[in-house]
Every structure is written in C-alpha cells, then in structure tokens.
Amino acid sequence: MSRFINVNNQTIEAIRDGLNGLGDSLITINTLVGDSTSAITLGENGAIHVSGLAVGVSNVSEGVDVETLGPVKFQGKKFEVGNSEPTIGFYNKGDIIWTDNPQSNGNVGWICVRTGTPGEWRTFGNIG
C-alpha cells in the first residue's frame, strides 16, 4: 500500500538548497583534501594528515608544520612565550612559559610547579 504525503513548495526548496549546500561543501573538501600536494590529506583507515597549519597567522613560516599566534596545549600542558613568569591567569602544574628574550647565563623559561592563579613558578634551563 502506497502512502502519499503532501509537501509544499517551500519545503522542497529548502531540501534542494540544503543538498546544493552539501554539494558545494563536498567540492570544497575535495579541493583541500585531494592529492599529496594538499594541505590536508586522508591516509589509511581515514586518518587525517595536516601540513602547514596556521592558527591566527596568515601564513606558515618555512620549515615549520604548525604555526600559531597564541599559546598551545598538548598532552594536557600549556606552552606560551613571555618575558616573565605570569602574574595573572590560571595555570596547571607543568605548564611552561618560554622566554622571548634569551640571554647568556639566563634561563630558558619558567615552569609552573603548583596549580593556581597564577600558580607557583620556577625558572628552568640555564643558558650557559
């Protein structure tokens, strides 16, 4: 037994527009994720590989795969650049501030040794 449902023109147009948008997105994805020269490629088992990723900057500098304007976090630890240990903000034990002005006989940066606002910090990495 067949069942007919009345669908108005507005619904049909919305479905068509949605399908057209999906098609446009797939074309864009294919342009980015196409061949081995693309910035984004798909590997075996659907693994996504990204090269030349820029976050907050216009271009990735030569010789790096990822460039960001702000701090990064990986494996639960935050890394940023500054000219001293932080005095504001929340930090976890193990977060690191790399010095933006390394000097002979200075330190590489500061590491948070106690979680808090701003946490407790110690210098690390003597520059000989």
Count CA atoms within 13 Å of residue 45 on its CB side: 0
The structure's pTM equals: 0.62
The answer to whether the Cα torsion of 80, 82, 84, 87 is positive or negative is negative
67 has a pLDDT exceeding 80:
yes
Same domain as 78, residue 35: no
Dump pLDDT digits (tens) for 16-32.
888 777 766 665 555 54
Same domain as 79, residue 31: no
What's the number of domains the chain is made of?
Answer: 2
The whole domain housing 97 covers: 70-126
Same domain as 41, residue 17: yes
**Contact in structure between 71 and 88 (CB atoms under 8 Å):** no
Strand ranges for 1-128 from DSSP E: 40-42, 48-50, 53-55, 66-68, 72-74, 77-82, 96-99, 107-114, 120-126
Residue 37 within a domain = yes
Same domain as 97, residue 50: no
Dump pLDDT digits (tens) for 94-105.
999 999 999 999
The band of 58, judged by pLDDT with boundaries at 50, 70 and 90, is confident
71 has a pLDDT exceeding 60:
yes
Same domain as 74, residue 34: no
Same domain as 111, residue 81: yes
Same domain as 108, residue 85: yes
